Structure 1
Amino acid sequence: MSALFESTADTLAYIAQVAWRRRFLAFIPLLLLPPLAVVTAMVAPKRYEARMTMLVQEPSKLNPILKDISINPN
């Protein structure tokens, strides 16, 4: 590409011209994707999922710092 242009300024000017000519190609996704996302969110089934992991330790192995906030099984 550097062989086609005499300087870096020429190359940057060419890139700017091409970007300006094709500026509408950048706006097409900006106009089409948000409505498509809204329609997809409304049509998609409502599905919720929750997961939880609990750590249960023996009292003898319990950290002394956590002793005040722990629950005794007895």
Structure 2
Amino acid sequence: MKLTDAMNTYTPALATIGKLGYTIRLLDNEESFDWEAKKGDDVFVASDPLRLLGLISLKAEYQSASRADIYGNMLAAHFEE
């Protein structure tokens, strides 16, 4: 299966966020808007539903995990090649 970041994936992303117990709303910034998800003390804001789900997933996966610099390490390894 190939899944691409596109608007046809926004509805499933929003449905998943809702199933996880978050309330979702739009934040109107006049020229654009952001998506906000809240659950308890957790608040996530992103420019689209896929990014919003990504942030929620990161919190679920890494809330107590090591904060190793995976991003920095991958960039360093790439440019050393």
Question: Structure 1-normalised TM-score?
Answer: 0.26
1 or 2 for the larger relative contact order (CA 8 Å, sep ≥6)? Answer: 2
Identify, as 1 or 2, the structure richer in helix. Answer: 1
Question: Structure 2-normalised TM-score?
Answer: 0.24
Identify, as 1 or 2, the structure richer in strand. Answer: 2
Bigger radius of gyration: 1
